[in-house]
C-alpha cells in the first residue's frame, strides 16, 4: 500500500519522489550539510519531539542524490534571500516597549499571552522526562499543580501521565487544565518547590499563561477510549458545559475528511493496512472516501475486498483503531509532515 500511495502522490504532483521532500526532511538535509558544531547549536534550541523527528529524518535522507540535495539548497538560499533582519531582537524590543507603555504588571499579563515561553523556562526540563517519571513525581500533589504540569507537556505525553495519577482525580485535573488561563506567581513557586532541582531556582514574578480548553482537548485526543469516557463523564457531572466545550475542540476521526490529499497519503504510509481497515469500518462515508480516493485503483479494490473479508468488528476495536491513527497523525503533525485542520486546532 505504501508503494501504491506513493505512486498516486507522484502521479498527482508530477514530481520525482526523491525531490518531493517534506519540510522536516529538507531541514534534515540542511543540518547534514552544516558543520557538527553549527548543527549541534541549532539542535540545542529544539524541543525533544523536534530533536527526535529531525534525527530520524537525518538518517532517512542520508542517501539522497546530489541533484536532490542541490534542489534543497537552492530553495533554502532563495528563502533566505527573501528574509529581512527585522525579526532580530524583536522579542526584547517588544518587551521593553510594552513595559514602558503599560508598566510591569500590565505588560507581564499581555506578554504572558503573546510570548508564553518567556516566563516558563523553568518547566522546559519536563519535556525531557518520560510520562511515568512525571506521574510518579506528582501523583500525590494537588490537582492544580498536576494541571499546570500537564499544560506544558506535549499532548500525548500529558495523556500518558494521566495513567500514572490516581483515577479519582483525573476528571478534576483535566477540568482544571481547561479552566487555566494564567498562573499566579505563588503557584509557580509551589511548582518549583515540587520539581526541586529540576527547575530554575529563581521563580518568575510574572503571571504565566498555560492550559485552556484547547489544551485539555488536545490532551484528551491522546487518552485511551475508556479513559476518555471516564474523564469526560466525571467532568460532565460537575460542569456539563465545560465537558461539551472540551469535546467540541477535540480533533476526531471525522475531521480527517478535511485533510489535504498529500497529508492523507503521508498518513497512510505511516499506518498498517489492518489498522486502517478496522478504523474505516466504522467511519463516516466522507472520511472513508477520503482515504479510498488517495489509493490507486488496484490498491482500493484490494483494500475493500480485504475489509469485507474481515467481517463484523466490535465497536470498541474500531474506536481504539481510530484513536491509534489519531495519535500517529498528531505525531506527524508535530513533526511538520502533515497539516491537521479540524475543530479547535491552530492550523491554517
Residues 135, 336, 68: CA angle, nearest 5 degrees:
140
Percent of the chain with pLDDT over 90: 9
With H, G, I as helix, E, B as strand and everything else as coil, classify residue 345. Answer: coil
Q: Tell me what pLDDT residue 196 has.
A: 52
Per the structure block, which three cell numbers stand in for 202?
Answer: 529563581
**What is the rounded CA–CA span in Å between residue 348 and residue 345?**
9
Q: Is the separation of the CB atoms in 344 and 247 below 8 Å?
A: no
User: With bands split at pLDDT 50, 70 and 90, how would you rate the model's confidence at 294?
Assistant: very high
Residue found by looking up cell 506527524 in the block: 332
| pLDDT score, position 89 | 53
Q: What is the pLDDT of residue 324?
A: 87
User: What's residue 188's pLDDT?
Assistant: 63
User: What does the block give as the cell for 3?
Assistant: 508503494
pLDDT of residue 291: 93
Q: Burial code of 288-322, b = ≥16 C-beta within 10 A, e = fewer?
A: bebbeebbbeebbeebeeebeeeeeeeeeebbbbb
Phi, psi of 313 (to 5 degrees): -125, 135
Per-residue pLDDT band for 122 (boundaries 50, 70, 90) equals very low
- C-alpha cell read off for 252: 476526531
Total-model pTM? 0.41
Cα–Cα dist 193/93, whole Å: 32
User: In this structure, are residues 337 and 271 in contact, taking their beta carbons and an 8 Å threshold?
Assistant: no
- What percent of the chain lies above the pLDDT cut of 70? 70
Identify the three-state secondary structure at position 184: coil
pLDDT at 237 over 50: yes
Amino acid at each position: 500500500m505504501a508503494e501504491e500511495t506513493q505512486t498516486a502522490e507522484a502521479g498527482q504532483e508530477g514530481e520525482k519522489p526523491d525531490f518531493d521532500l517534506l519540510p522536516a526532511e529538507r531541514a534534515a538535509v540542511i543540518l547534514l550539510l552544516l558543520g557538527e558544531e553549527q548543527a549541534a547549536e541549532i539542535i540545542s534550541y529544539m524541543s525533544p519531539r523536534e530533536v527526535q523527528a529531525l534525527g530520524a529524518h537525518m538518517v532517512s535522507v542520508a542517501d539522497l542524490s546530489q541533484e536532490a540535495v542541490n534542489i534543497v539548497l537552492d530553495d533554502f538560499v532563495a528563502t533566505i534571500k527573501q528574509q529581512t533582519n527585522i525579526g532580530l531582537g524583536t522579542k526584547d524590543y517588544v518587551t521593553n516597549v510594552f513595559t514602558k507603555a503599560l508598566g510591569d504588571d500590565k505588560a507581564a499579563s499581555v506578554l504572558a499571552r503573546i510570548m508564553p515561553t518567556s516566563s516558563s523556562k523553568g518547566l522546559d526540563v519536563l519535556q525531557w522526562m518520560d510520562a511515568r517519571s512525571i506521574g510518579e513525581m506528582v501523583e500525590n500533589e494537588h490537582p492544580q499543580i498536576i494541571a499546570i504540569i500537564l499544560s506544558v507537556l506535549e499532548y500525548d505525553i500529558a495523556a500518558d501521565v494521566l495513567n500514572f495519577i490516581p483515577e479519582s482525580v483525573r476528571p478534576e485535573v483535566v477540568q482544571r487544565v481547561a479552566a487555566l488561563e494564567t498562573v499566579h506567581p505563588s503557584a509557580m513557586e509551589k511548582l518549583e518547590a515540587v520539581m526541586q532541582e529540576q527547575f530554575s531556582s529563581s521563580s518568575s514574578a510574572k503571571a504565566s499563561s498555560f492550559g485552556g480548553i484547547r489544551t485539555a482537548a488536545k490532551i484528551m485526543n491522546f487518552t485511551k477510549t475508556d479513559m476518555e469516557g471516564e474523564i469526560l463523564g466525571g467532568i460532565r457531572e460537575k460542569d456539563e458545559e465545560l465537558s461539551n466545550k472540551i469535546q467540541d475542540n477535540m480533533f476526531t476521526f471525522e475531521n480527517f475528511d478535511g485533510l489535504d490529499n498529500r497529508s492523507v497519503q503521508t498518513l497512510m504510509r505511516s499506518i498498517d493496512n489492518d489498522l486502517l481497515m478496522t478504523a474505516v469500518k466504522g467511519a463516516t462515508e466522507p472520511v472513508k472516501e477520503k482515504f479510498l480516493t488517495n489509493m490507486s485503483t488496484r490498491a482500493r479494490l484490494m483494500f475493500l475486498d480485504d475489509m469485507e473479508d474481515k467481517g463484523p468488528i466490535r465497536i470498541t476495536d474500531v474506536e481504539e483503531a481510530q484513536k491509534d491513527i489519531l495519535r500517529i497523525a498528531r505525531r506527524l503533525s508535530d513533526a511538520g509532515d502533515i497539516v491537521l485542520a479540524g475543530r479547535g486546532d491552530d492550523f491554517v
